[in-house]
Structure formats: structure tokens, C-alpha cells
Amino acid sequence: MVLTVIGSGAWGLALAQLCEANGHQVVVWSRRSKLSLETAIAQGEIIISAVSMAGVRATAQQLQSLSLNPEAILVTATKGLDLETGATPSQIWQSTLPNHSVVVLSGPNLSKEISRGLPAATVVASSNLAAAISVQNIFASKNFRVYTNSDPIGVELGGTLKNVIAIAVGVCDGLKLGTNAKAALITRSLPEIMQVGKYFGAQPETFWGLSGLGDLLATCSSNLSRNYQVGFGLGEGKNLEQILQDLEGTAEGVNTARVLHDLTNRTGLTLPICGYVYRLLNGEITPIQAVAGLMDRDLKAEL
């Protein structure tokens, strides 16, 4: 099968590597490529988007003006929310190219581990089950187990929202607050993630799977996570601007925290952890003040 991967960052290259190992013909394209995008996607039966959130809409609009294979399946592997509209990547792709099936790929997938051939699992989700199964078969291998799911928005939100929580957990570790605090923080973040999921119409059980809890645990427990690195640096007292300059790649949780802040203002959702992360990122409070704010909240029942 002929595949096109749009985005040559660590994640895009890891996905290309998985497909090539399964014997597929893969073309990797980025803005720095000598090859035109039109040429890169000309024969593509599967088009995989691994661009940062900031580039999703522009990339989708570019493809809209080109001659795609009418049967091409679009796979989105981006984790983030649009700053202007709050839309997810799959919503942008589906609204821009409505005649194509869109599949969300998300899970506890640290790109450096996948590139090293370490075992991992992921989820591919779509309202079109046949499209999801096609993508499942393309990626599945002895080192990469792939599950299907019929809740694309839930799968997508799990991978997106955990980035904000990973910043919070990084702060916790940067402050050396211990295992108890980290366990409490991760556990209490799940109700917040599920609240947002419910608002978007996701299925609650999706967040207990690989793309929800699984991705949350991976991102919050590894210093390979860029969002965790941002939080850890803040916990150590470093400047956000400098942290982001030194980072390899994009920490999508920074922008996602802003989108969630706007969402809570519009809807009245209660997202205390995400709210304190937003205030911390914007320099309104210190890491110690964020911890104190969470610990001083009114007492209530757990469930």
C-alpha cells in the first residue's frame, strides 16, 4: 500500500518507520521537502497527518485544493485543540475534507521508544469501522499492537487533555512533592478529562482505555514527554519562555491549557487542575501557590 506521512518530526518519522517495517511504500513530506505536497500525496491510499496543532488547518486546506485519491483515508495523529475554535484535529479534517474517512490514532506512544522498536500499543478510532480496520492492519506488528474504537472524539480528547495534566505532574516532580502527591494529582485529573469528554459527546469508558488512562500514565511518568519537561522546569523555577526555546518539538499542553480556560469560562465546567496550570503558564501564580490552591479547595465527596 502507498502511504503519505505529512510531518517529519520525531512522531511522523516513527509512524513512517512502523509502516515501512510492514512492507508499505511510504512518502514523508514536510514544508522543507523538495518534493511538492501534490506529488507526495498523488498515489497515497492512506494520508497520515503528524503535524503540530498549529499546522493542522493550513495542511487540511492545502489538501482540499489538491487532487486526492477519492478513496484515500485520512489519519490524524496530532494531539491538541485549535486555539481559535477549540476544534479537535479530526473535526478540522472532517469539515475540510468531508468526503474522506477520518481515523484518529492515539495512545501511550512516546516516539523515541517506538523508534527503538520497544513494544507499544495504540488505538485507531473512526465512525467508519472499515477505515479503522484498514489503518489497524497497516500499523499492527509484533512490536506495535493496535486496537480499534468507534469513539474518535473520545480517543482524540484523551490524548489531547493528558498533555495539560502532564505539565501539572512535571511541576509536582520538579518541586519534589513525592509519590503520594503525584498519584493523587493523576487520579483527580481523570474526572476533569471526562468532564470535557462528556461536553464534546465522547463515551466515558473510552477514557479508561489506552488513549485515555494509558496515555495519561505514559506521559506523566516519562521525562521523554515534552509536556512533562515543561512542568518539571517550571517546578524547578525556570522561565517558561526559556524552557520552550530549549525544548525539542512542541509541548501541545501549553496551548491546550488556554483553550480549556476559554471553555470553562463559556460553559462553567469545573477544571481546577487545568485552571491552575493555565494560571501558572501565564505567570499569574507560582508553582507553590498552585499547589496551595489545589490543597485548599473546599472539601467534598470523592465521587
* Structural domain for 78, as ranges: 2-150
Q: Is residue 300 part of a domain?
A: no
| 117 and 197 inside one domain | no
Q: Tell me whether residue 52 is in a domain.
A: yes
For the record, the C-alpha cell of 160 comes out as 489531547
- In order along its 303 residues, the chain shows pLDDT tens digits of 999 999 999 999 999 999 999 999 999 999 999 999 999 999 999 999 999 999 999 999 999 999 999 999 999 999 999 999 999 999 999 999 999 999 999 999 999 999 999 999 999 999 999 999 999 999 999 999 999 999 999 999 999 999 999 999 999 999 999 999 999 999 999 999 999 999 999 999 999 999 999 999 999 999 999 999 999 999 999 999 999 999 999 999 999 999 999 999 999 999 999 999 999 999 999 999 999 999 999 999 998
Q: Give the CATH number, domain containing residue 259.
A: 1.10.1040.10
162 annotated active-site: yes
Same domain assignment for residues 233 and 124: no
For 172, the 3-state DSSP assignment is: helix
Residue 95 included in any domain: yes
Looking at the fold, whether 100 and 194 belong to one and the same domain comes out as no
Whether residue 193 sits in one domain with residue 280: yes
Is residue 155 domain-resident?
A: no
Catalytic residue among 142, 162, 176, 238: 162
Q: Are the CB atoms for 220 and 228 separated by under 8 Å?
A: yes
**Residue at which a domain ends, from 150, 181, 210:** 150
> Could you tell me the CA-to-CA distances from 23 to 2, 127, 138, 283 in Å, in that order?
10, 27, 9, 49
Q: What CATH number should be reported for the domain holding residue 90?
A: 3.40.50.720
DSSP string for residues in 277-289: HHHHHTTSS-HHH
Q: In total, how many domains does the chain have?
A: 2
Q: Write the DSSP assignment of 229-289 as a string of letters.
A: HHHHHHHTT--HHHHHHHSSS--HHHHHHHHHHHHHHHH----HHHHHHHHHHTTSS-HHH
Within this chain, do residues 121 and 180 fall inside the same structural domain, yes or no? no
